[in-house]
């Protein structure tokens, strides 16, 4: 698609990868909405970007339904979802509580499903659309302490494959990107390593996936730092 024709929603767009994705798309001429739970932080990010701010929790169904309706109403149409909202929680199995596991899944899995479902309703009705799920290399290989986070990204990978199988016949491209460790602003005060991935690298990759002509798509992309030198 031509990025200047993108009418996009980036979940978790207040900071980090989501903010970088929104910035990249807007710079290319797209109209972009971002969502988040922290109203003050979201508004500040939207003002910096020139994006539409929608306060919403992707884990709350009524928030998601209202959010997708607002995107369509504000833009007059809607054709790109970047399913980016998510967070990590890490602990050994013996220290992992059910409550924490459910909290991670509420956003990383159930939230991603809700936003994709409501977006796909519109995309299927228009016979066109794009869904990009931001997963992780943690969803390709588990690791000690990753019970909650890694398994949530494995689950997102499964969702991606199911949606792709269902939605291709409606010309909806379902794509997934798997970043390895990405250093966002959180890391800058604690040993920021310029040789590791930054949010802008993932934004570039997603923009390239979307910019491919609509007759083709890249189902999945994994992005590693070339030589991070830990």
Q: Which residues form the catalytic set?
A: 149
Beta strands 129-134 and 172-179 are: parallel
Where residue 70 falls (left for φ over 0; alpha for ψ -120 to 50; beta otherwise) is: alpha
In 3-state terms, what secondary structure has residue 7?
strand
Instruction: Report yes or no: 79 and 125 within 8 Å, Cβ to Cβ.
Output: no
- Residue 112 tokens read as 């991603």
**Minimal CA–CA distance to 14: which of 64, 50, 57, 53?**
53
């Amino acid at each position: 698609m031509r990025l200047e024709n993108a009418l996009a929603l980036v979940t978790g767009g207040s900071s980090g990868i989501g903010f970088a994705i929104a910035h990249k798309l807007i710079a290319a001429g797209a109209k972009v909405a971002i969502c988040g739970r922290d109203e003050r932080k979201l508004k500040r990010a939207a003002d910096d970007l020139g994006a539409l701010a929608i306060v919403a929790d992707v884990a709350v169904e009524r928030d998601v339904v209202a959010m997708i309706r607002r995107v369509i109403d504000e833009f007059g149409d809607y054709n790109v979802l970047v399913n980016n909202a998510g967070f990590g929680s890490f602990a050994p199995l013996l220290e992992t509580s059910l409550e924490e596991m459910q909290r991670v899944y509420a956003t990383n899995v159930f939230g991603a499903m809700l936003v994709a479902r409501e977006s796909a309703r519109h995309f299927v009705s228009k016979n066109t659309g794009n869904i990009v799920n931001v997963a992780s290399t943690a969803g390709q290989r588990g690791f000690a302490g990753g019970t909650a986070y890694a398994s949530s990204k494995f689950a997102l990978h499964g969702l991606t494959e199911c949606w792709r199988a269902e939605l291709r016949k409606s010309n909806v491209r379902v794509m997934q990107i798997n970043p390895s460790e990405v250093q966002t602003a959180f890391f800058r005060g604690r040993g920021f390593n310029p040789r590791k991935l930054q949010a802008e690298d993932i934004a570039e990759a997603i923009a390239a996936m979307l910019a491919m002509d609509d007759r083709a798509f890249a189902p999945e992309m994994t992005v590693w730092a070339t030589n991070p030198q830990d």
